[in-house]
């Protein structure tokens, strides 16, 4: 079984490279942005003609949430046209596509339909309503994939961090070595996701899907949520990062209004993982446990 990974130098791409040796029966083909540019249809065709993958994990994306506000065309090109190109070539080769999307497709205003009207996690069926360019391009990319090729799994995830690339955890650790005090927002709630757990989840879906071909389980294609378990604010996340790493820093909680950013972010974007757990038998660990790891 050949699994082709785009965007192989990103956090998720490198996490997939990290776990690949645990799956000797899978032949992985890792393509970074210089060997495979997903915005170049001919380049995608050429690579697929050569490797003929059974599965493609599209880990390539424009992920600079704030910068996207001033670079909407670039974000659209990669997250919408790029995703569409990959889906089109997957269709030509009957390759199953696993595409990664985001909690930022939601506006964060979902409330329970009860008197208490508390926030409740987003399910796959909730109506997206992105608050920024990045979220909009990721949603439009999902829509292009759905229109182009039915054999797809779209996995929405949130707050991804890892030992690889740039992410919140690494930024906090860097700042802890440069400063004595730090303020972090405490009124945006979500769930951190260890990129290695996301990588493992994708491989489990591939194995499940490859074993169930011909058994009429094609209906498993569609949208799924994945993050670690639990929820926290960015402040809670930072506090735990410092605690685990024995960093002594004066950490202050602040409201979003005190830390304006170009892109508006959802206030609450916890994802409900019931569907991915029950469909693929995936067990998910808490964000605190996985941050420690």
Q: Is 269 in the site for ligand NDP (CB under 6 A)?
A: no
Q: Is 16 in the site for ligand NDP (CB under 6 A)?
A: no
Minimum distance of ligand NDP from residue 206's CB (angstroms): 16
Fill in the per-residue mask, 100 to 119: x = in contact with ligand NDP (CB under 6 A), - = not in contact: x-x-----------------
Find the binder of ligand NDP among 6, 131, 148, 209 (CB under 6 A). Answer: 6
CA distance 132 to 155: 19
CB of 10 or CB of 132, closer to ligand NDP: 10
Q: Is 60 in the site for ligand NDP (CB under 6 A)?
A: yes
CB of 202 or CB of 251, closer to ligand NDP: 202
Partners of residue 209 on adjacent β-strands: none
Minimum distance of ligand NDP from residue 18's CB (angstroms): 12
- 55 annotated active-site: no
CB of 96 or CB of 145, closer to ligand NDP: 145
Number of residues that bind ligand NDP (CB under 6 A): 26
Active-site residue, selected from the candidate residues 51, 55, 62, 134: 134
CA distance 193 to 195: 6
Site for ligand NDP in 134-193 (CB under 6 A): 138, 157-160, 165
* Catalytically annotated residues: 134
């Amino acid at each position: 079984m050949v699994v082709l990974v785009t965007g192989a130098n990103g956090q998720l791409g490198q996490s997939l490279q990290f776990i690949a040796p645990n799956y000797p029966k899978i032949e992985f083909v890792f393509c970074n942005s210089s060997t495979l540019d997903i915005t170049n249809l001919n380049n995608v065709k050429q690579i697929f003609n050569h490797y003929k993958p059974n599965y493609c994990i599209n880990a390539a994306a424009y992920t600079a949430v704030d910068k996207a506000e001033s670079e909407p065309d670039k974000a659209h090109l990669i997250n919408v046209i790029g995703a569409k190109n990959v889906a089109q070539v997957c269709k030509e080769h009957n390759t199953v596509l696993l595409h990664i999307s985001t909690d930022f497709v939601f506006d964060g205003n979902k409330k329970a339909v009860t008197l208490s009207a508390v926030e409740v996690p987003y399910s796959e069926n909730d109506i997206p309503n992105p608050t920024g360019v990045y979220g909009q391009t990721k949603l439009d990319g999902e829509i292009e994939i759905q229109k182009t090729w039915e054999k797809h799994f779209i996995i929405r995830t949130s707050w991804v961090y890892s030992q690889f690339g740039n992410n919140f955890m690494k930024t906090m650790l860097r700042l802890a070595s440069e400063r004595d005090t730090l303020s972090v927002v405490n009124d945006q709630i979500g769930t951190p996701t260890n990129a290695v757990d996301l990588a493992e989840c994708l491989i489990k879906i591939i194995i499940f899907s490859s074993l169930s071909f011909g058994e009429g389980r094609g209906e498993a294609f569609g949208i799924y949520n994945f993050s670690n378990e639990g929820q926290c604010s960015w402040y809670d996340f930072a506090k735990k990062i410092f605690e685990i790493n024995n960093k002594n820093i004066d950490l202050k909680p602040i409201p979003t209004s005190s830390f304006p950013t170009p892109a508006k972010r959802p206030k609450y974007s916890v994802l409900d993982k019931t569907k991915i757990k029950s469909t693929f038998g995936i067990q998910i660990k808490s964000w605190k446990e996985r941050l420690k790891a």
